[in-house]
Structure 1
Amino acid sequence: MLNPTVTDILAELSSLEDPKARAVNERHGDAHGVNLSKLRGVAKRVGLSTDLARALWAADDVAGQLVALLVARPRELSADEVDGMLRSTRSAKAHDWLVNYIAKKSPFAEDLRLRWMDDPGADARAAAWSLASVRVQQTPDGLDLDALLDRVERELRDAPGREQWAMNETLAHIGIHHPALRDRAVAIGERLQVLADYPVAPNCTSPFAPAWIAEMVRRQG
């Protein structure tokens, strides 16, 4: 796609709309009907362009915003821009992609984690916990893991769904990657029983933290 405009991209996305897909997506918090493989194909043809990503995001079209997240260069977006994008998401998938494709790869990831951790909005806190999970695994030096566990213990059971899921992920990764805190992480999970009954397909790992920790530690051998 040679020098596409926002209008060009939105027109192509509109042509790819499938009403049945929209009905399914809307039940999961995503107001668009474009097959994600086809949407990724559009983004691949567009190529990387943070300026175009900004313009697509501003058009306030969910499918367009998903393309924006695929064509933006995370290093070219300021912390305030990423924060503003998070607060303007209207899609569960856009929230997930923003966190995974932009915030986690941003040079401002730690600034964003700190900014969002005590935010009044549950979606921002969920993003903070996702960023905390990355630090727990990759750069834990200077991170107060005991304080994170204290907060998980206080808040996990009553946290809203997306925040609860991300917080539980942090709990599991502390147990997996930090043997000195493993027993405490498992004990918290056992006591709170969050996601203990989550349905899991055969040969898949349960998101229930004690089971998740045990399985990943087993694989580490």
Structure 2
Amino acid sequence: MTETVLAGTTVAELMAELAALEDPRAREVNARHGDDHGVNLGKMRAIAKRLKTQQDLALELWDTGDTAARLLALLICRPKEFDRDKLDAMLRETRTPKVQDWLVNYVVKKSPHAEELRLVWFADADPVVASAGWALTSERVVKNPEGLDLPALLDIIEAEMKDAPERLQWAMNHCLAQIGIEFPEYRARALDIGERLEVLKDYPTPPNCTSPYAPIWITEMVSRQQAK
């Protein structure tokens, strides 16, 4: 692999810098969530701030296949420079939750191909890919719901969320909560679905954080909106 030298930093040097930041305790915690790196994300963001935007370097970091390097790549890339097929390929080869989350939120959502990819991923048979489609759908529910068939989305959630694989289940649950929060006319149904399916009802939630259990999440966020 040809190394890119930009801002005085090569891929090899960055890989060494990331390796030096490895914390075994952080890796152990991340492993519980399916992630295979132990780099403090605050320190990683400091590296990205130093590097600024460097698309070629980002591509080389991504091609290493290393999770920490890929996270750094997503922080320094130019989202609008990726074509649709490249983003699709990146999502499909991404198996760790944090990389997928950052790819969708930091890159795909800023891409002109976001809606096309949402439709393709939403219907994909791979639950990991489908979860990205649901994440983009939740974004549309909040920011651009016109044209979405919300009752149909609730039908799918009601029928499939209970037995969906973990990452897909989480994404569907997020969409359920957002529909309940944003649309009073569908709130009662969203609450009913959440109460009957009981998805994430017993999820351990730290103090001062809102439970991801949809009925609690919806009720809390609506209460905050009404208090403003």
When normalised by structure 1's length, the TM-score is: 0.94
- Take 1:190 and 1:20, find their aligned partners in 2: how far apart are those partners? 36
- Runs (4+) of structure 1 exceeding 6 A deviation are none
Tell me which amino acid in the other structure corresponds to 2:135: S
Correspondence 1:45-60 to 2 at 5 A: 45-60=50-65
Q: CA deviation at 1:76?
A: 1.1
| 2:72 equivalent among 62, 67, 74 | 67
CA RMSD, aligned part only? 1.5
Tell me which amino acid in the other structure corresponds to 1:125: A
- Take 1:61 and 1:47, find their aligned partners in 2: how far apart are those partners? 20
Residue 87 in 1 paired to residue 92 in 2? yes
Q: Which runs of 5+ in 2 are unaligned?
A: 1-5
Residue 124 in 1 paired to residue 134 in 2? no
Tell me which amino acid in the other structure corresponds to 2:204: P
- Take 1:207 and 1:24, find their aligned partners in 2: how far apart are those partners? 20
Residue 107 in 1 paired to residue 112 in 2? yes
Quickly say closer, same or farther: Cα 1:45–1:167, change in 2 above 3 A.
same
Secondary structure of 1:17's aligned partner:
coil
Paired residues of 1:62 and 1:90 also in contact (CA < 8 A): no
Q: CA deviation at 1:122?
A: 0.9
Tell me which amino acid in the other structure corresponds to 2:182: H
Tell me which amino acid in the other structure corresponds to 1:94: V
- Take 1:213 and 1:58, find their aligned partners in 2: how far apart are those partners? 40
Deviating more after overlay: 10-19 vs 187-196: 10-19
Residue 148 in 1 paired to residue 153 in 2? yes
Q: CA deviation at 1:3?
A: 4.0
Tell me which amino acid in the other structure corresponds to 1:61: D
Paired residues of 2:95 and 2:128 also in contact (CA < 8 A): no
Q: CA deviation at 1:169?
A: 0.6
Give 2:175's aligned residue: 170
Quickly say closer, same or farther: Cα 1:216–1:14, change in 2 above 3 A.
same
Paired residues of 1:40 and 1:67 also in contact (CA < 8 A): yes
Give 1:37's aligned residue: 42
When normalised by structure 2's length, the TM-score is: 0.91
Q: CA deviation at 1:171?
A: 0.5
Q: Deviations over 1:30-82 (max 9, x none)?
A: 22222211111111111112221111111111111010010111111112111
* Count of residue correspondences: 221
Give 1:24's aligned residue: 29
Deviating more after overlay: 109-118 vs 5-14: 5-14
Tell me which amino acid in the other structure corresponds to 1:83: D
Tell me which amino acid in the other structure corresponds to 1:30: D
Give 2:200's aligned residue: 195
Q: CA deviation at 1:22?
A: 2.8
- Take 1:187 and 1:16, find their aligned partners in 2: how far apart are those partners? 46
- Take 1:170 and 1:145, find their aligned partners in 2: how far apart are those partners? 10
Q: Percent identity?
A: 57
